[in-house]
Amino acid sequence: MSAATLSEAPAGAVDAPVLSVRGIGRSFGSHLACAEISFDLWPGEVLAIVGESGSGKTTLLRCLSGLLTPSAGVVSYRTATGRDVDIHAVAEAERRRLARTDWGFVHQDPRDGLRMGVSAGANVGERLMALGARHYGDIRGTALDWLDRVEIPRERVDDLPQTFSGGMRQRLQIARNLVTGPRLVFMDEPTGGLDVSVQARLLDLIRGLVAGMGLAVVIVTHDLAVARLLSHRILVMRRGRVVEAGLTDQVLDDPQHAYSQLLVASILQG
């Protein structure tokens, strides 16, 4: 089951896990939001964390990405040069550097991940500047390329995100995250709150970019259709704990735990 299944290398894996998670837990006062979570994430692998509202998904994601300090456990990130970094033990400056260079975080609400007071182009370009890019023409050129890649018309490059639709904002947030070529991206309900047709288009886009860039992704969603479309493996959470884990198709086609069965059945009925 869970930890074992989620520690096995996928077929063809040649590398070490990019993220190793052991015994993560987080309490708020006496309330245990998540507990005893362990898994490995491999390069290029997409892991979906699913479960009903309040099951601890976002808390876990925030602990994995360094945004929140866990009450227990270790999150170890393996850098491109093969160095293992305990992300909650390293200095804040190092964690921030990794968050700029190696990781992305796509928030459910694009306002949390964008700078709403600067143009679309600047939202993308300033991430490159943070990594040392200085040539204005190159930065603008790369920003325009990324607007193309996320299907935002080039002529909107100087517009503020405030003038964008929800779907466009989310696509811009994705461009801002991916322009620096991260290896690992955390996504928290990236299609939540969008119309169904906008969601479908965004999912297609995410799927193409993730596969094309070979990204490792941890995506939180309460939507099993999103998990089905995007993920290789799935981790089902209930009341802060993992109740089932495994390959996405296996878990969704033949759920073993009563709670997973309920989740899958509710989708089929819906």
Ligand X SMILES: Nc1ncnc2c1ncn2[C@@H]1O[C@H](COP(=O)(O)OP(=O)(O)OP(=O)(O)O)[C@@H](O)[C@H]1O
In the complex with ligand X, the residue whose CB is nearer, 162 or 266, is 266
- From CA 238, how far away is CA 236, in angstroms rounded? 7
Q: Which amino acid is at 34?
A: C
The two three-digit tokens of residue 122, written as one number: 């600047």
Q: What's the Cα-to-Cα distance from 160 to each of 120, 143, 150, rounded to whole Å?
A: 6, 14, 16
Q: What's the Cα-to-Cα distance from 262 to each of 5, 218, 219, rounded to whole Å?
A: 21, 23, 21
The two three-digit tokens of residue 45, written as one number: 């692998």
Q: Cα dihedral sign for 224, 228, 229, 233?
A: positive
In angstroms, give the least distance from the CB of 28 to ligand X.
3
Binding mask 69-108 for ligand X (x = CB under 6 A): ----------------------------------------
The two three-digit tokens of residue 65, written as one number: 């990405």
Of 27-35, 75-83, 95-103, 148-156, the segment contacting ligand X by CB under 6 A is 27-35
Binding mask 177-216 for ligand X (x = CB under 6 A): ----------------------------------------
Q: Is residue 58 a contact partner of residue 235, using CB atoms and an 8 Å limit?
A: no
Q: Is 55 in the site for ligand X (CB under 6 A)?
A: yes
Binding mask 214-243 for ligand X (x = CB under 6 A): --------x---------------------
Of 55-63, 149-157, 172-180, 257-265, the segment contacting ligand X by CB under 6 A is 55-63
Block residue for tokens 């799927």: 207
Chain residues binding ligand X by CB under 6 A are 28, 31, 33, 51, 53-59, 222
